Amino acid sequence: MKGESSKTAGTARPYQTKISFGISSAVITSLALITGLDTIGNPKSGIIGSILVIALADNLSDSMGIHFFLESEHVLGKEVWLSTLTNYLARLGVSLSFILLIALLPIGTAVACSIVWGFSILAALSYAIQHRRGKNPFYEALVHIGLAAIVITGSHFAGSFLINRFK
């Protein structure tokens, strides 16, 4: 049954459950910002500033959303707080890794490396989760990367359109 293991005293959700939402959300959001803002006049400061806002404010917002969801599912209090904290820290860590790439590398290289890094994180997370579930991890990783690629491509074109439109 859905969520049954988390409702049973002494039984916790797998560790991947606690971090999977945060990691995938941070990767897709960060890559969308990076590819959407890489054509502005000073892309490094715009990208880093945007990721920092997302890493702090949006991450807290999503973590609180998970917190309320778990409480509404009658998950035990200790696990609710552990899931809230691990989601926030996972998202913060991933977001900071993208900031590091943007800050240290030339912008063109940073964008390319960020995409490779983000897709690698999604592939590893997808593989770990699907392997544990007994599903084809390679197929699922490709599906997740494909969905992320659609969001990233759309963000890039939307950013380019808006920047050109309002020059």
Token match 């502005």: residue? Answer: 40
- Give the integer Cα–Cα distance in Å for 36 and 88: 24
Q: What is the mean pLDDT of residues 124-146?
A: 87
Q: Taking a C-beta distance cutoff of 8 angstroms, is the pair 76, 10 a contact?
A: no
Of 15-24, 33-42, 117-126, the least confident: 15-24
**Predicted local confidence at residue 14, as pLDDT:** 54
Task: Write the DSSP string, 104-150.
Answer: HS-HHHHHHHHHHHHHHHHHHHHHHHHHHHTS-HHHHHHHHHHHHHH
> How would residue 13 be classed by pLDDT, with cut points 50, 70 and 90?
low
Spatial separation of the C-alpha atoms in residues 135 and 137, rounded to whole Å: 6
Q: What pTM was estimated for this model as a whole?
A: 0.77
Higher pLDDT, 125 or 3: 125
- pLDDT value of position 165: 81
Please state, in angstroms and as integers, the Cα–Cα distance from residue 91 to each residue in 4, 40, 85, 109, following that order. 26, 25, 10, 23
Q: Residues 6 or more apart from 149 whose CB is under 8 A from it?
A: 119
Gap between the Cα atoms of 88 and 147, Å rounded: 23
pLDDT exceeds cutoff 80 at 124: yes
Measured at the CA of 23, the angle between CA 113 and CA 61, to 5 degrees, comes to 120
Tell me: pLDDT of 6 over 80.
Answer: no
Q: Is the distance from CB of 13 to CB of 79 less than 8 angstroms?
A: yes
More confident: 39 or 43:
43
Instruction: Tell me the residue ranges of DSSP E strands in 36-124.
Output: none
